[in-house]
Amino acid sequence: MGLPLYPQNGWVGSKLPPFPFSPTRKASEIDLRAEMKLMLEGNSYYPRRGHWILLRRMDKRQKCTCYNRVGQGEEKYSLDKGKYNEPELRCPLCNGEGWLYEDELHLSRRTLVSPTIGLAGSEQMSDIGWMNINYIVFFFQHYVEPKRGDKIIEIELDDNANPIRPFVMKEAYRVAVGEPFRDQNGRIEYWRAAAKLEVV
């Protein structure tokens, strides 16, 4: 139903015409934060649909001391002298990340960013062999705030879908895009993070 811009008889008085639709009540709105929390965590009536992952947050205020380290003494010829602009693979501080980091345990839900019909064509032949690089999207609650460069680590779970301790890494994904989904008044309802599989 459209509203006439220029009614034939004009508006009576200086007030705006009544809005033709019923007003939206706050109680009738869907609270996406609550829905995401219910979906990921579950409760006594609904099963938990999220699975446990580790979010590795990189502290990018300062690089690790192993970054471009020049060898001294016996290591003089075993290091690359900063040629490749990268951290050491087996650094005891950063584990080859190049930054100090902190691991956080979160519930998440993941999906492939590709139509099902296109999954068969996701592999491509290159000069070095077959390549298959798919983006995975992870969904988080509103407070998580994943950032570009962070890592999402899939871990081993027991029969009750709880993390095995100490944590055992299965796969690691590097976050390329962390995007907040906002709703009314710009409130963040949930986060989604697009990530690519990293060779471990």
Bridge-based pairing of strands 99-112 and 51-63 is: antiparallel
- Decide yes or no: CATH 2.60.120 for domain 31-59+101-198: no
| pLDDT tens digits, 138-162 | 999 999 999 999 999 999 999 999 9
Can you give the pTM of this predicted structure?
Answer: 0.73
DSSP class of 165:
S
Cα gap 6→107, rounded to integer Å: 54
Who's near 92: CB < 8 A, 6+ residues apart? Answer: none
Torsion over CA: 85, 91, 96, 101 (sign) = negative
Residue 108, classed as helix, strand or coil, is strand
Share of the chain above pLDDT 70, in %: 66
Average pLDDT of 5-33? 62
Cα gap 200→173, rounded to integer Å: 10
Residue 99, beta-bridge partner list:
63
| pLDDT tens digits, 43-100 | 989 999 999 999 999 998 888 888 766 666 666 555 555 556 678 778 888 888 888 8
More confident residue, 175 or 184: 175
